[in-house]
Amino acid sequence: MGNGQSKRIAVDMDEVLADTLTQFLSEYNREFGENITKADLVARKLVEIVPADRRARLRHYALSPGFFRDIPLMPGSRDVFSELRERYEVFIATAAMEFPSSFNEKYAWIKAHFPDFPDSHIVFCGDKSVIAAHFLIDDSPRHFARFAGQGFLFTAPHNRAENRYPRLNNWADVRRQFLNGE
């Protein structure tokens, strides 16, 4: 793996670099006049809060033009991501297959927020076990099952009960894990 000089880190886009949940909540709250926040998701999952007859709208947002292009950055991600790139070979690995129409917008999002990030290090995939990296930072534990390297779970409301993998709660934790002791 890697070029023999530096280790590789694959970083997920949605809910790790991109604050996708905030985008979903913004769209939902705007449409239905609600005020659901991330704090509301500490005790309950979004599907437990959103009435059953509105849940299909959540998927619809991700299929709507502009949804992925306009997602805000995760707090602290820009600086730490830049620092990681100085010490590691970094890839952005996003499972875009669930929403195939998202390819162009996800690419545009990456270029808008990280304009000098090389195209050769952007990976659109379904199964992240194909990524030859030492580390994978992801909010979805399903990606670690067949991943050959070490997975690090990036905290999100939907993974709060998961305890099989080392956890990174935010980008300050990413900095401590990968940059402070190296």
Question: Which residues are the active-site residues?
Answer: 12, 14
Nearest partner of 14 among 148, 130, 117, 159, judged by Cα: 159
The dihedral over CA atoms of 30, 31, 37, 42, expressed in degrees to the nearest 10, equals: -170
Give the CA angle between residues 120, 123, 125 to the nearest 5°: 155
Contact between 11 and 137 under an 8 Å Cβ cutoff? The reply is yes
C-alpha 48/C-alpha 50 separation (Å) is 6
Nearest partner of 14 among 80, 78, 96, 84, judged by Cα: 96
Q: Which tokens is 179 given? A: 């940059």
C-alpha 26/C-alpha 113 separation (Å) is 20
C-alpha 37/C-alpha 121 separation (Å) is 33
